[in-house]
Amino acid sequence: MILLEALMFYVFAATMIGSSLAILLSRDIVRSAVWLLGTLGAAAGLYFLLAANFLAAVQLIVYAGGVLVLIVFGVMLTGRQAGAMPLARGSEIAIAAVVALILCAGLLVVALRGPWIELPGPAPAPVAAEMRTIGSELLTSYLVPFEVASVLLLAVMIGAAYLARPEKR
């Protein structure tokens, strides 16, 4: 079982990183958007491995089903230029690569040497939370963020409707 879990982890991790790399290297925005599907699906697989079943389902429904379709609609509505959009200039790419590599190295050093690595005791057994538990937690312990999120969604709805409305001149 441990072997299977490790195998699945490496498959999902490789898919996630590879798809992200493909987003970075792809010149065509449609291809980038499709590669995002690989990243989001692999992230959902990792959530399943982390015993977060509900979250994995939400990831697949909201992200892969909703956000990705929204992005593809955005790509279509903004029109594809003839040919791929030119990349940034060479110097900008070099600066971006240097910044990303330095950031990556720094974060790796911090994450792999932080106090959480040496925390004693074995990892707690994976327990998939029941939907009932998640629902009651959302409406008790997490009531304030839940309500804030609902207000945020209302504001976003009004804002998007306002922005998308044709301007009266």
Which of 83, 91, 117, 140 binds other proteins (CB under 8 A)? It is 117
Q: By CB under 8 A, is residue 11 in contact with other proteins?
A: no
Helix (H, G, I), strand (E, B) or coil at 84: coil
Q: Among 11, 131, 147, 159, which residue interacts with other proteins (rule: CB under 8 A)? A: 159
CA-wise closest residue to 22 among 10, 37, 7 = 37
Does 86 participate in binding other proteins (rule CB under 8 A)?
A: yes
The residue (of 78 and 168) whose beta carbon lies closer to other proteins is: 78
- Cβ atoms of residues 4 and 20 within 8 Å: no
79 is written with which tokens?
């029109």
Q: Report the distance separating Cα 138 and Cα 143, nearest Å.
A: 6
**Site for other proteins contains 46 (CB under 8 A):** yes
* Residue 37 binding other proteins, by CB under 8 A: no
Structure tokens at 107: 């974060």
| HSE-CB of 124 using CA atoms within 13 angstroms | 5
Pick from 11, 101, 131, 143: which binds other proteins (CB under 8 A)?
101
Residue count (the chain): 169
- What's the closest the beta carbon of residue 117 comes to other proteins, in angstroms? 7
Indicate the burial class of 152 (C-beta count within 10 angstroms; 0-12, 13-18, 19 or more): exposed
Q: Which is nearer to other proteins, 85 or 168 (CB)?
A: 85
96: contact with other proteins by CB under 8 A: yes
Q: Indicate which single residue of 88, 131, 139, 143 sits in contact with other proteins (rule: CB under 8 A).
A: 88
Q: Assess 77 for contact with other proteins (CB under 8 A).
A: yes
